[in-house]
Structure 1
Amino acid sequence: MLKTLFSALALGVALPALAQDLASQEVVVTASRVEQDSYERDMPAVGLRRTADFLVQEVVIRGDTRDPKQRGAEIRQMLARAVEMADKHGVQLAFGDYILTPLTAANLDEVTLSNDNRPDSQKVEFLVKAPLGGKESGATAEKRIAAYADAVPEVGRAQMDISGDSSLSIVGPDQYRLQIAESVMADARALAERMGGGYSVTIEGLNMPVLWTRAGLSDVMLYIPYKLVIVPKP
């Protein structure tokens, strides 16, 4: 049974198309795949807890210069400066609600200018990411992002502010599928041994996509919504 399960997982048998797509793409942890794809959320006992790849903070550049053309130019110019200064401050920029796209000088126009909550005011919103792991904790990543946001110079009446709470991101969550499955099957074997010879334990749901949830300031929990079924042997 274990050989069959691993063969199916390695080949991607019966996996939704999106599950296979997320072997390398970066996703925001708070934007759960459950919410995006209408999968029933059922948090199991066994998963994989690990440090996220990035701490992610939304930022907004606002401008309220009276002339619309000048206002837009000031916001765009400040956004360009933000991109130029990112590497120097050890951060990366991105945009997207679920799957993140790197924000670079080549795709600045893909970040749209929208109306703000005041007349004659507009804004652009994007994400600042600080890497996690090693000596980079969630607290140090937050300080790094805050220092970067303060360092980007204002242009005219355009200014940049941090917006809301930070979140996390993970690159390629589906690459951890086999590691999660190994932990699930090890747990199933341990339960079967405890139950004794009169019972068997089967696993359902390992063909489901990898899901994720936040598990701390800098940690995520990756899991597959499997179920263990204990049945008496005939």
Structure 2
Amino acid sequence: MRLFCTALSAFTLCAVAMPAGAQEVVVTANRARGGGYMDTSAPSPALALRRTADFAVLQVKVTGDTRDPAKRREEIYAMIRGAIVLAQKSGVELATGETIVEPLTLANYQSLILTDDDDRDDTQAASFLIKSALSQGGDPKAALERIARFVREVPAVGRAEMKTEGEMTLSVVNPEQYRGQIVALVAADATGSAGKFGDDYRVQVQGLDRRIQWGRASLSEVYLYLPVSYVILPKN
């Protein structure tokens, strides 16, 4: 890691440059009344970068209830394999993961765990994610329609069937790439606050060495931010 300091008007920002990765993360939030979203961990909007997420994400489950266990397993995995092939020409991507998203491919799909249904005998299921890209400022309905159309078009195999479950979530690719923009927002807010107290005051910022955090801002937007705080102090 590399230490860097940026002098900005009445104060100095010091932060640790974290190694940039290409991880894709899932962003969820609690639904608030009125159809909106709330994330109580998000900071003041002045300190957060608000942007459209990279993907709309829905979880799907492939369920099979063929009585013979070997045949049931074969049908479930065959349907998943067909979904992977179809996704390549349907404008969607398949993935796994609850927090960190990894691609679901022909090389790893059989590592999906089959879970037993507690309410139905001779029934097992495997779950994974379907992603559809979101355009900046665009309507998420188009992404959801692509996912719904894809689920309808995946060929059934034997008694296996695929259904969506839960509500749409979002994902962001490599949140660390936005560190510079977030630091700039913090700097602008802190310098503006310090300036209101006159030239005899400075700002001390803490938390710039922390990892980027995220929360859901709306149906298709996310907050990206650093858990920072700052205090305004006399220079002498």
Shorter-normalised TM range: 0.7 to 0.9
- Greater than 4 Å deviation, 4+ residue runs: none
Indicate the percent of aligned positions where both proteins have the same amino acid: 45
Q: Which residue of 1 aligns with 2:134?
A: 132
Kindly indicate whether residue 117 of structure 2 is the aligned counterpart of residue 119 of structure 1: no
Contact 1:93 1:102 in 2 (8 A): yes
- 1:11-26 to 2 correspondences below 5 Å: 11-12=17-18, 20=19, 23-26=21-24
Amino acid at match of 1:199: Y
Amino acid at match of 2:211: P
Amino acid at match of 1:70: K
Could you tell me the TM-score, scaled by structure 2's length? 0.85
Kindly indicate whether residue 27 of structure 2 is the aligned counterpart of residue 29 of structure 1: yes
Deviations 1:112-132 (A, max 9, x none): 212123221000100000001
Unaligned runs of 5+ in 2: 30-39
When residues 200 and 178 of structure 1 are mapped into structure 2, their CA distance, relative to the original with a 3 A threshold, is same
Amino acid at match of 1:94: A
Q: Which residue of 2 aligns with 1:82?
A: 83
Contact 1:94 1:127 in 2 (8 A): yes
Count of residue pairs brought into register by the alignment? 215
Deviations 1:111-154 (A, max 9, x none): 12121232210001000000011585311111110110111121
Give the Å deviation of 1:49.
0.6
Give the Å deviation of 1:42.
5.2
Q: Which residue of 1 aligns with 2:55?
A: 54
Amino acid at match of 1:78: M
Unaligned runs of 5+ in 1: 13-19, 32-40
Contact 2:27 2:216 in 1 (8 A): yes
Structure showing the higher helix proportion among its residues:
1
Give the Å deviation of 1:197.
2.9
Question: What is the SS of the residue equivalent to 1:112?
Answer: coil
Q: RMSD between aligned alpha carbons?
A: 1.9
Question: What is the SS of the residue equivalent to 1:166?
Answer: strand
Could you tell me the TM-score, scaled by structure 1's length? 0.86
Contact 2:42 2:214 in 1 (8 A): no
Q: Which residue of 1 aligns with 2:35?
A: none
Contact 1:62 1:116 in 2 (8 A): no
Structure showing the higher strand proportion among its residues:
2
When residues 149 and 53 of structure 1 are mapped into structure 2, their CA distance, relative to the original with a 3 A threshold, is same
